[in-house]
């Protein structure tokens, strides 16, 4: 190093360090951007792991009609629960009419859960207490979908619901 270079370096100590600071700030900015992306992906991955708008696309009644109204005009083949967040539930009121020629009792069954691990976090229940329905009798029933607060790793799910009868 010549004396002239040494004097210029002492007179302008920023020339070398400014470039180093600029280079370090680019690395720091890139690192912060990468960390932000990783954190956001982790957060949205956790929150987005549950499908919050729920629709049971297949509902079947055997020997019964399933309706949205007490007058039994509007039939249903699907339950739309709307937004159901982890740790909460959603309840629908449906009307069941005995369409058999004899008195019956009802049974609720779910099947074909996809993925099969959905049943670890999601359940479907009703408030039917086992009463006998006479021919053409209509009763209101509440169907409740419950989602466990610890649900994780499920982005889509589906299941079938069947309401069947036992004759009396």
- The answer on 59 and 37 residing in a single domain is no
Q: What is the pTM of this model?
A: 0.67
Do 137 and 154 fall within a single domain? yes
Do 33 and 73 fall into the same domain?
no
1-26 pLDDT, tens digit each: 555 555 555 555 555 555 555 455 55
- In this structure, the answer to whether residues 136 and 115 fall within a common structural domain is yes
pLDDT of res. 93: 96
Identify whether residues 161 and 114 lie together within a single domain.
yes
Structural domain span for residue 140: 53-167
* Edge-to-edge strand list for the sheet holding 104-114: 58-61, 158-167, 104-114
Counted domains in the chain: 2
- Let me know whether 25 and 63 are in one domain: no
Q: Are residues 34 and 61 in the same domain?
A: no
């Amino acid at each position: 190093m010549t004396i002239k270079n040494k004097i210029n370096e002492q007179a302008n100590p920023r020339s070398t360090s400014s470039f180093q600071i600029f280079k370090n700030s680019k690395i720091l900015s890139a690192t912060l951007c990468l960390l932000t992306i990783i954190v956001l992906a982790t957060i949205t991955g956790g929150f987005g792991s549950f499908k919050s708008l729920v629709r049971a696309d297949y509902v079947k009644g055997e020997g019964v009609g399933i309706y949205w109204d007490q007058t039994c005009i509007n039939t249903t083949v699907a339950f739309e629960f709307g937004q159901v967040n982890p740790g909460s539930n959603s309840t629908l009121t449906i009307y069941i009419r005995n369409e058999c020629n004899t008195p019956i009792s009802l049974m609720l069954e779910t099947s074909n859960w996809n993925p099969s691990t959905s049943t670890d976090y999601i359940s479907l229940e009703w408030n039917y207490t086992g009463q006998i329905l006479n021919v053409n009798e209509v009763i209101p029933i509440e169907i409740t979908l419950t989602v466990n607060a610890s649900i994780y790793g499920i982005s889509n799910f589906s299941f079938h619901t069947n309401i069947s009868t036992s004759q009396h």
